Chain A
Amino acid sequence: MSILGRVVATERKPNTPHEFHFWTALDSPVGIGTIVRVESAQPVNGALPVVYGVVVEGFGYTDVETPLHEVLGYDGAPGGEAGAPTKRTEIRLYSAAVLRHVPEEPLQPVAMGTVHLASDEDVAVALRMDAYLAPGASTGIPVGMYRSGATSSPVWLDADFLLGPEAAHLNISGVSGLATKTSAVEWLLASIFAHFPEKKGRVAAVCFNVKGPDLCFLDQPAAKLDDADRALYDRLGVPAEPFKDVEYYAPYTAKGYALNTLRSNEALAHNVKPLTWGLREVLQYAEVLLNKDDVDAKADALIDFIKERVVDQTFEDPKYLSTAHTVQSFGELERWFRDLLTGMEKQNAESWRTHHVATIRKVRNRLTNISTRCRGLVTDDGTVSDLPFGEFRDRAIYVVDVANVEADAQDLIFSRIVSTLREHLEKRSLGVEHVIVFVDELNKYAPSDGPDTYVRAMLLDIAERGRYLGLVLFAAQQFRSQVHRRVVGNSGTALFGRMDPDELATPGYATLSPATRTKLSTLEKGQLMVRHPHFSQPVFVRFPRPAVLSGREGVERFPQAAEQTLDEAVTRALRSLDRSITLEWVKESIALAEEDEVLRARNRTVQTRPDDVKAYFRGQLKRRVRAEPADARPRQPLKKSPTDDPYGF
């Protein structure tokens, strides 16, 4: 391979074991991020050392000592340049950070030698990928293509360091709107699903769609995928097709008619399922929604009492309660509170079982308020429609659409789903051994400052211990500096798209050279800087457009369904179970029912998925006698009134 440059070292700019300098011809293809190989002619311990490095800084200058000399040379007229018959001697000098020494010992300053563009094999050695790309035992997951000049080499992440157990988690940073974060995750999930070794177990992903329609069309093919993208897919061994197994979950809207998601087009309804929880599910995570300043130790004790002694069992207290209560829903809990407080008032009691009446009133207020704050997610009647915990499928994606949900409900959904995933993984009962949890806007859920929330504590726990369980966090945010340092610090792999210059000025990026920071602030779409435990230095890669329909294109191709009436919403929900159900049948069936009752019947039907949908649905509605018109015929009185009756009329 031709010589690209030569190593140079001066007293002012000496080479070290971790950095060296080299010069090249002016037209060389070297740029920031280029990987090079240095061959030295000076043997060490009988072997000629080879050093691999990545270019992190570039300098160019001429023999002009001061700019004033140039001014003098052209008599202050810049236009005179064209007349200069000779170009000044100019240099391209580059600094490279060492990726690897071969042999590793003794670790010496980089010796003088010739510099060459890295080949495919060189890239693999330089990034230590040779350790995990052995044929038959590869744990490589392609993350993109490294390109420089004529070199185009796949860059692989080590699955053991991406999904555990050695290291885990992925963090993506980048400014919004440049198709970096979401696109990178979509691409990487496809890559993982294509390359994750079967012997390492099954893997699935749970993605929280926190804004817009970003993740709403993962099962639809991309509108535009050009030849260059397809070539990248081919080279990296990933099929250029949408995800085959995707399920969507979304709570209902506040009205409760339709699911609260932008994926509401009827053509896509087949794999969109409601996400609804009842009292039992929510009470487990009540602390997510309850402000710690609001709920003190006393209130906490009462909540615990209710969880352990009241919910899901028959509770009797003849002294204060008028009847036995079986509390299984928020509605029943409210009735229990009302009965208890009435009983206490009657007996003029200030406390009940050590709980002061004020505490009871406060807890009642906070708990019953949850169903209002999380309307659409939390059901009064206890109907549960959840992710298929225990039946997760290999290479499946479960998207939880919380984009249009209130912040409180988002927190609740996130906490409960992740905690439940963790519980199942601990018991090895989830259905898969590895779960990737993708969450965007991490700076909102795990901020570096602000109060200590349940969600943040949980994210910290996943970041620090999740890898042992197979619970892997893929998180994204605009500003990495605003995310809790223990969360980003525990991410074994980090991807950086185009970055905001202000963000790059924060101390977290001080280890990057100015040129690398500049490159980061000007990255094109589809380019990433990758940090991975095997790579001594970050490397730049290019990844293909995701093979799935983007959110923006998706909402154009599959417009959101118009707002539905109750009849239409029920019809649509039931038709996903039985195509013979018509709007007329639904109208006739629910004509006499209350709205709450209809919604409850629909929810139970959708949850149960009975064989006979029509019969089941009607069975959920209260039986009512149909009203009939009054008979107009005159009735004969049983006994005539006496005509002389003075009181008659």
Chain B
Amino acid sequence: MPLESAAPAVRAVGEPTVKFGAFLDGIQSSHTEYNGRNGVPIVGGTVAAVIRRRADRVLHAWPGSPKILHAFYAPFAIIGESAVAWLRTGGIELVDTLERGDPPEARHPMELLALARNAVQRNRERLEVELAEAWCSSEAEPLFVDGGISGARNASQSELAVGVVKSHRTLYATPESLGVITALAVGMRTASFEIRPKHRTTVASWYLRLRDPRGRDPLFGLVRVEIARDSWSADRADQVSRWVLAERAPVSLPDKRWSTMAYGIRDCEEYLRAHL
């Protein structure tokens, strides 16, 4: 649902302004630890999230982070109680990959593997949400969050959390506005709109072009920004856009996503990789 008039379709946001006080990101890794009876995969997964606070242009881990969780992911009902009991002897957290009420019948191993990976991802998101909530409840500076913020109940309603989505598997655009998005010039944003995901919080969002796409694909340097719906105003959208634009330097090369990835987010990932 649009929040602004479609005319003009694009707006110049002004000169970049440095404002973010910290960056939040998480990473995950998983691999099959054991193949149980009938090829049921038991997945070992590690998830981690960190807030890197910026002070005097240098990033440091925010107290309370990183959060790291090692766990085994398995369909308890399928591997059986004895196997679950044996896994518990390792002292590592166990996560059931089956939803409550799922039938405990044999399934395709790849399906079970996908269930495990989804569980790993949920845990990673959970850690990110925990950190985002903690930041918004205790700090006063804006937080640059990698990805959407609608999954965090409190943070998504805070003025401090700004979600920046780099991937565009889902494009929030009508056939008419798609051309506007792909033709967006550097430093311009689209009109804002509301996103109302199922089971998540409604947020305000818009597209912003960080880098010149000429000679590249149409989504090069394009991000989608999310802020709390209640905090939205056109001026605030411009203001937040200026903050995001300021994070284009330094570039995040050699990461392949460098056109849309803030250096602070890359720093979070490098930091977490060093810890896993």
Give the interface of A toward B (CB within 8 A).
63-65, 69-70, 72-74, 80, 83-89
Contacts and interface: CB of A to CB of B under 8 A. Distances in A.
B270 A86 contact: no
B54 interface: yes
Given A63-B270, A86-B267, A89-B270, A73 B57 contact: no
B58 interface: yes
Contacts of A72: 251, 253
Given A63-B270, A83-B249, A88 B254 contact: no
B175 interface: no
B267 A89 contact: yes
Counting chain B residues whose Cβ lies within 8 A of the other chain, the interface size class is: 20 to 34
Contacts of A88: 250, 263
A84 B254 contact: no
A65 B254 contact: yes
A126 B244 CA distance: 53
B250 A70 contact: yes
A87 to B, nearest CB: 5
Contacts of B251: 69-70, 72-73
Nearest to B267: A89
13 contacts: A64-B253, A65-B253, A69-B253, A73-B253, A80-B249, A85-B54, A85-B57, A86-B54, A86-B267, A87-B58, A88-B250, A88-B263, A89-B267
Contact of A86 (B16, B57, B253, B254): B57
Contact of A84 (B20, B59, B249, B253): B249
Counting chain A CB atoms within 10 Å of each CB, the highest count among B16, B250, B266 belongs to B250
A64 B248 CA distance: 15
B247 interface: yes
B16 A84 contact: no
The 8 A-B residue pairs with the shortest CB-CB distance, nearest first, are: A73-B251, A69-B253, A85-B18, A65-B254, A84-B249, A87-B57, A73-B250, A86-B263
Contacts of B246: 83, 85
Contacts of A85: 18, 20, 54, 57, 246-247, 249
A69 B258 CA distance: 10
Interface in B247-276: 247-251, 253-254, 263-264, 266-267, 270
Chain A contact residues: helix, strand, loop or mixed: loop
B33 to A, nearest CB: 26
A195 B51 CA distance: 60
Contacts of A80: 249
Contacts of B250: 64, 70, 73, 84, 86, 88
A80 B59 CA distance: 20
Contacts of B59: 86, 89
Nearest to B262: A86
A64 B270 CA distance: 13
Interface string B13-24: 000101010000
A78 to B, nearest CB: 12
Nearest to B264: A86
A577 to B, nearest CB: 77
Given A72-B253, A86-B57, 6 more contacts: A64-B250, A69-B253, A72-B251, A83-B16, A83-B18, A85-B54
Contacts of A64: 250, 253
- Most-contacted residue by chain B among A64, A69, A88 (CB, 10 A): A88
B170 to A, nearest CB: 29
Contacts of A69: 251, 253-254
Contacts of B16: 83
Contacts of A73: 248-251, 253
A464 to B, nearest CB: 56
Nearest to A72: B251
A612 B126 CA distance: 110
